[in-house]
Amino acid sequence: MSVIASVRGVLPGHRYAQAELTTGLAELVGLEPEHLTVLEQVHRNAGVEHRHLALPLEDYAEATADFGRSNDLFIEIATDLGARAVREALAAAGIRARDVDLLMTTTITGLAVPSLDARLMARLPLREDLRRVPVVGLGCVGGAAGVARVHEWLAGHPDGVAVLLAVELCSLTLQRDDTSTANLVASGLFGDGAAAVVMMGDRAAERLAPEGVEVRASRSRLYPGTERAMGWDVGATGLRIVLGAEVPDLVRTQVRGDVDRFLTAYGLDRSQVGWWVAHPGGPKVLDALAEALQVPAEALGVTWRSLARIGNLSSASVLHVLADTLRDAPPEPGSAGVLLAMGPGFCLETVLLRAPGGPR
């Protein structure tokens, strides 16, 4: 067992209404009138009301002129935002940076060598012998998978303290010459942000965070033959979105059986799950997920509200939803919860949680 002692989401300061972003993007890309009508409709259907961007909207013409420029900005801003997220999560947990034994980072929207975790060593008083695990390529599933992988490390290090950091600056991947449906959908759905989670092994938690959220188990599933359902094509202009129309159908047809098998292994069924923490993959995906889980829409209400408030932040989003859940809709003490996300592969990660308090 491991324990989540704190989780904090942070956002860049540049906040825009969806309609303003639609107009700005159309001007930036130079869309023809027939494409503008499509863009407006796609953005209206995204379920997003506001998003936060890494830069002021007027700076994107220069920022996305070439991949090198946008990636340099990614490194600079992601490091700043990541440091802020880690500081806030450590402060919330009452933990000093030098007490952290493992730092795992996950991102998909830029490339950094040295990695983001190494760059944070110069910003935060972390130990020189800190174990660092940079993870690139998991995309939207990265937040859930990161919690699962840190949980597994802590199982072997019960006195350990770990931090998971997810940072995504989706706006810097804008492809200005791409009027494909996938790019138009992505331009209305994804936002920028970061989140950090402080986790502890069970012995450390007894001393430092006895009322944290318990992580009980996790399960990974990769669906064969779905590599082109979601991801990036990497080219001279940067990261070009791959977003297949089959994603909602994969959720609708696969998730129920996988979740049921996972819960059964731990003596539970869906009726015993008191709270769901789901990645906000978009309206069609969330509708498919509610259908698959056979739950009412409000069971995913925190996820829907996160989508409207900040959009889809790729790997950081499910961690924002977890933070929102614990703050705004605290689960019943001792109740079982499931955190889940889907991502490139196509894959599913499920994590079994237990709310603090209640009978053991």
Active-site residue set: 140
Alpha-carbon distance 209 to 206, whole Å?
6
Cα 44-193-185 angle, rounded to 5 deg: 30
* CA-closest candidate to residue 182, choices 139, 224, 239: 239
What three-state secondary structure class fits 116? helix
CB contact at 8 A, 73 and 238 = no
C-alpha gyration radius of the chain:
20
CB contact at 8 A, 165 and 194 = yes
Number of H helices, E strands in the chain: 12, 13
Buried b (16+ CB within 10 A) or exposed e, 250-277: bbbebbbebbeebbeeeebeeeebbbbb
* CA-closest candidate to residue 80, choices 24, 45, 122: 122
Please name the residue that has the structure tokens 């979105």: 241
How remote is the C-alpha of 125 from its chain's centroid? 26
